Amino acid sequence: MKISNILSSIAILVLLSACSSKTAQKVAPTSINTENEIEEIISSQERVKKDTFDKFAGLTYKEVIFLEILKDDTYSSLCGSKDEYLNILNLANTIEKSKKLEDLFYTYTNNLSNSCIDQSTFKKELKKSKYKKVNQDYEVYNLDINKNELLKKYHSNTPIKDILKTYTPKHPQFFALIKELNNNTSLSQQKQDKLKLNIERLKLLKYSNSDNFIQLNVPTHDFTFYEEGKKTKSFGTVVGAADTQTPILSSKLAYFIVNPTWNIPDSIAKSSIIPKALKDRNYLKKKNIVIRKNYKLSSKKIKWKDVNWKKYLKKNVRYIPYKFIQLPSRTNGMGRMKFIFPNDYAVYMHDTIGTWRFKSSKEKIRFVSHGCIRLEHPISLMKYLSENYTKYSYKKVRSIFDKEKTDTIRLNKKLPIHLTYQTVEVKNGNLSFYKDVYGYDKIQKLNF
């Protein structure tokens, strides 16, 4: 029997009861469509009476709701528990069935919160040297769910859907992808598996209480701003190459720098700056690059001619005791804007002088950075953040920008940001699949 039929029948019974009572002040609705509404009328822990619904007699209304969720796997979190669900379904409506539903509720919630990806095997794979060499980093954010506390809520009057909402990914793509999994019958097994994997990836992000967040999706090389669960801004990005990858992580955008200096990493100094400076004595001057003892401009100045730079080009040398800094200018490699979110990999979003790359979607054009994310429209983002997430007006920030002064603008409300690896998404109503450039589709496996 469909849950909608059950709820409608309950409503009618309550209506008749209310009409026959002299003390009844309210008339129950003739149709009830949500769990919250039914629990305003009948306690969630009250058991269904045999003369009402033989099929569900002996179960609580909350258990009936949960069985309906399991039937459709609404949150795509049954995973490896489908056989357990079927076994429970065939049991008589006794205390044993209630106990097993209790245990399955904990399992279902844990799968929803922490995914059904085999994380242990995945972590072992990433420790292999071939993945370490390309800086392959994929952070996951698991939640330790206290079973006793969870079951207290389960046995309270808190609706099932309200309990699960706490653990449900806030990304709008989550239910959109589940809908495609359930309704798109034309998918090959390979595409179904890829779709399932991408649903699970959304569970691994670190969500906050805010429905506003930024997503930088590597496979689609794009930036998307979500507010109140809807896209408000979207544009292209350039991301890490296959051998210098952009890490997958969640953080919070904390501040942005107007007219930044570029602290050139040792790896880039070794592979690019030093070789070019050895060939052209004026290279550093033309590029507005200075050398210091460390990344502070106030630290000791180092003269190019005083150092034997060739020894730092040897393969076994990784550390360079001198630092190259490119001063703010219109030719700065960072462009004119730099957006900072705390992370362990020293990556950030920034402007770029190579805007021509956004005209192409080719892998060799868009997957070329050393891990940081280059933005197609950084000034537009600066304007939006200034007006909505800082104490400054855009006029004030624009004045700093135009004068080419270096300044740090802090956000007065930190904004969640997710660097994701979604190779499947629903775009303009259609299911789209993208190339697995970093190989995560191959090394991440489901545990069912």
Summarised one tens digit per residue, pLDDT across range 257-277 is: 999 999 998 989 999 999 999
The predicted structure's pLDDT at residue 356 = 96
The predicted structure's pLDDT at residue 49 = 53
Average pLDDT, the chain: 88
Look at residues 36, 92, 35 and name the one whose alpha carbon lies nearest to residue 68: 35
Report the distance separating Cα 368 and Cα 243, nearest Å.
Answer: 9
The DSSP bridge partners found for residue 339 are 256, 349
Q: Which residues touch 19 (CB under 8 Å, ≥6 apart)? A: 27
E strand map for 155-248: 213-217, 222-227, 230-240
Sheet containing 262-264: which strands, arranged edge to edge? 262-264, 323-326, 289-292
Rounded to two decimals, what is the model's pTM?
0.84
CB 263 within 8 A of CB 295: yes
CB 416 within 8 A of CB 207: yes
pLDDT band at 24 (very low <50, low <70, confident <90, very high): very low
pLDDT band at 40 (very low <50, low <70, confident <90, very high): very low
pLDDT tens-digit profile of 303-352?
Answer: 999 999 999 999 888 899 999 999 998 888 888 999 999 999 999 999 99
| Average pLDDT of the segment spanning 284-292 | 95
The predicted structure's pLDDT at residue 41 = 36
The predicted structure's pLDDT at residue 2 = 46
The predicted structure's pLDDT at residue 55 = 72
pLDDT at 20 over 50: no
User: Cβ of 192: how many Cβ atoms within 10 Å?
Assistant: 13
What CATH number matches the domain at 209-260+332-443, 1.10.390.10, 3.40.50.10210, 1.10.1060.10, 2.40.440.10?
A: 2.40.440.10
pLDDT tens-digit profile of 104-117?
Answer: 999 999 999 999 99
The predicted structure's pLDDT at residue 53 = 57
Task: Sort 345 into a burial class: Cβ within 10 Å, 0-12 / 13-18 / 19+.
Answer: middle
The predicted structure's pLDDT at residue 17 = 36
Report the distance separating Cα 192 and Cα 183, nearest Å.
Answer: 11
> Positive or negative, the Cα torsion across 22, 23, 27, 31?
negative
| Average pLDDT of the segment spanning 65-83 | 95
Report the distance separating Cα 299 and Cα 276, nearest Å.
Answer: 24
Q: In this structure, what are the phi and psi dihedrals at residue 161, rounded to the nearest 5 degrees?
A: -65, -30
Please report, for the chain, the start and end positions of each structural domain, with discontinuous segments joined by +: 43-165, 209-260+332-443, 262-326
pLDDT tens-digit profile of 146-184?
Answer: 999 999 999 999 999 999 999 999 999 999 999 999 999
pLDDT tens-digit profile of 217-259?
Answer: 999 999 999 999 899 999 999 999 999 999 999 999 999 999 9
Higher pLDDT, 55 or 299: 299
The DSSP bridge partners found for residue 166 are none
Look at residues 74, 12, 61, 15 and name the one whose alpha carbon lies nearest to residue 35: 61
pLDDT at 54 over 80: no
The predicted structure's pLDDT at residue 45 = 52
